[in-house]
């Protein structure tokens, strides 16, 4: 299976314009095995077929990378779950500084285990809820990117991200294809928390019929200043 997994990941990533090294493919293989082991104990993910993990979780997690302005950013992954998208992004872009925010104790334990197992640096786990750590000014305007994989509706994600993002920081929301209502609501209210809509990219996952959308908003200093006057 490992040989097939490496081939699937390599081919799919190249289709997206991302080249994974042998070392990175080996890390994904280890990650894959650990997910299977832990999934029997704590129900990390739902995988209906063998291709679900490499394509619908690993490759899906890499889809934001081509749309990032820099890969040396400090990124907060809200609702990291089994590590998606933060850990795959860190594997493929080692210069990223990643914080994984996860409220489940068991999932947070898995995340810490994977970080140790893969010997990843400049990545850490915050076992808490977003609403709780917003009481801690140590996290205020600390991040260049806030990313979330379908953990929040877009308007709620913008409100939360306003606290965490530095000036000109990006919100990157990973969504399914049916996001029109969320987009409408988010664009109508985005000026209020000081955001400007940037882009919405349609992505078809390689080897699957699934459509994903990467929706990006930028924290706008001008809009924030205008709101506070």
Query: Domain coordinates of the chain in residue numbers?
Result: 2-228
CA distance 112 to 30: 14
CA distance 203 to 163: 29
Backbone dihedral angles phi then psi of residue 173, each to the nearest 5 degrees: -105, 125
Q: Which residues contact 50 (CB under 8 A, 6 or more apart)?
A: 1
pLDDT for 69: 80
Question: pTM, whole model, 2 decimals?
Answer: 0.92
pLDDT for 223: 54
Sheet with 74-78: list strands edge to edge: 123-127, 97-102, 74-78, 143-149, 165-176, 211-219, 195-204
pLDDT for 47: 66
Q: Looking only at Cα atoms, what is the longest distance across the chain? A: 60
CA distance 55 to 32: 12
Are the C-beta atoms of 51 and 24 separated by less than 8 Å? Answer: no
Cα angle at 201 between 11 and 209, to 5 degrees? 50
Q: Which of 97, 12, 7 is nearest to 61 (CA)?
A: 12
Which CATH superfamily does the domain covering 2-228 fall into? Vaccinia Virus protein VP39 (3.40.50.150)
Spell out the per-residue pLDDT of the chain, length 229, in tens: 677 899 999 999 999 899 999 999 999 999 999 999 999 889 888 766 666 899 999 999 999 999 998 889 999 999 999 999 999 999 999 999 999 999 999 999 999 999 999 999 999 999 999 999 999 899 999 999 999 997 788 989 999 999 999 999 999 999 988 888 888 888 877 776 789 999 999 999 887 778 899 999 999 866 555 544 4
pLDDT for 228: 42
Interaxial angle between packed helices 105-118 and 22-42, expressed in degrees from 0 to 180 and rounded to the nearest 10:
150
pLDDT for 214: 94
């Amino acid at each position: 299976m490992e040989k097939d997994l490496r081939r699937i990941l390599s081919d799919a990533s190249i289709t997206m314009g991302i080249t994974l090294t042998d070392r990175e493919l080996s890390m994904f293989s280890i990650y894959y095995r650990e997910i299977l082991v832990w999934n029997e104990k704590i129900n990390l993910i739902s995988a209906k077929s063998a291709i679900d993990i490499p394509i619908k979780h690993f490759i899906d997690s890499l889809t934001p990378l081509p749309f990032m302005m820099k890969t040396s950013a400090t990124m907060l992954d809200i609702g990291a779950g089994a590590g998606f998208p933060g850990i795959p992004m860190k594997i493929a872009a080692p210069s990223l500084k990643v914080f994984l925010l996860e409220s489940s104790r068991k999932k947070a334990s898995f995340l810490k285990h994977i970080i140790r197992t893969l010997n990843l640096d400049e990545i850490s786990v915050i076992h808490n809820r977003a609403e709780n750590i917003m009481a801690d000014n140590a996290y205020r305007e600390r991040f260049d990117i806030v990313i979330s994989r379908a953990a929040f509706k877009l308007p709620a994600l913008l409100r939360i991200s306003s606290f965490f993002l530095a000036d000109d920081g990006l919100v990157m929301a990973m969504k399914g294809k049916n996001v029109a209502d969320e987009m409408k609501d988010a664009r109508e209210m985005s000026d209020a928390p000081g955001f400007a809509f940037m882009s919405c990219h349609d992505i078809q996952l390689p080897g699957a019929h699934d459509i994903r959308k990467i929706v990006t908003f930028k924290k706008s200093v001008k809009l924030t200043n205008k709101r506070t006057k």
